[in-house]
Amino acid sequence: MGNAPSLPAPPPPPLVSETMSLLGQYGAAWVAVCLGWSTLLPASSDPWLMLDTAHTALFKLGTPDVPVPQRTALHVAFHAIFISMLVLSLGRSVLAKWVGCAYLFGAWMVLASLVWLASVDQALADEVALNAADAYTTPWHWLLYALSGQSDLAYPVLAYNFYRGLMALYGYPVAFVPMVQSQLERFAGADALTRLILVFVPLFNYVAVWLVITPRLVRFYEHSTSLWQRATGKEKKP
């Protein structure tokens, strides 16, 4: 008997197809935005900082009413494209520090997790990925300090950033441990990879949060020390 003809591979579930389509559309749009932004703005204006600021404004203010699947794909795609274009533009200097490596890996990990979890449950995929996108989004108070050139006038903003940073390091596990436990209970019958993703994504993100926030806490100490030395006349002269 001859070999039976092989059957075509089954199409991906509709939700996965929709998620991948959204990620492809938004990813292409973000590539165009990154290329246009970095080309049109002068290098002296730090176009990447300006683009990061624009995204934070969009994430926090511009998309609350957008349907959750579209909002999730929009912001997950941004982080994956933004850090990739940053590496392509600035080279290995972006990856010279652990935070750059963590951002690059984490952004693409979250994107892949969104696609996988969409095959299990769309609401779960959106919940995990949107929380991750929030963790990777630069807070407005740090952006305001950076945009000011880290001047003394922005020191109150830096102090507020110090407070919010400490609260984030404390509050992240307090908020996410019960959430992960709830997800594991709801999807107790899920496959091992899905359950691994539910634990690994927030755990890795917490490590990334430490890598991002710690230098900002150190900056608060350095700026505070500099202000004190200048106020007391103890600043070291070059």
Per-residue pLDDT of 104-143, as tens digits, reads: 999 999 999 999 999 889 899 999 999 999 889 999 999 9
pLDDT score for 215: 93
Is the pLDDT at 184 greater than 70? The verdict is yes
Q: Of 76, 181, 184, 65, nearest to 132 (Cα)?
A: 76
pLDDT score for 7: 43
Separation of alpha carbons 108 and 192, rounded Å = 20
Backbone conformation region of residue 119, classed left if phi is above 0, alpha if psi is from -120 to 50, else beta: alpha
Is residue 129 within 8 Å of 113, Cβ to Cβ?
Answer: yes
Helix (H, G, I), strand (E, B) or coil at 73: helix
Is the pLDDT at 15 greater than 80? The verdict is no
pLDDT score for 42: 66
Instruction: Tell me what percent of the residues of the chain surpass a pLDDT of 90.
Output: 59
Helix (H, G, I), strand (E, B) or coil at 16: helix
Distances (CA, A) of 194 to 118, 138, 201: 10, 28, 11
- Token look-up 């609260």 returns 167
Is the pLDDT at 4 greater than 70? The verdict is no
- Which pLDDT band holds residue 1 (cuts at 50, 70, 90)? very low
DSSP 58: I
pLDDT score for 36: 86
Separation of alpha carbons 68 and 152, rounded Å = 40
pLDDT score for 172: 92
**Interacting residues of 90 by C-beta distance below 8 A, sequence separation 6+:** 48
pTM: 0.86
pLDDT digits (tens, 9 = 90+) for 64-79: 778 888 899 999 999 9
Torsion of CA 58, 61, 67, 72, to 10 degrees: 50
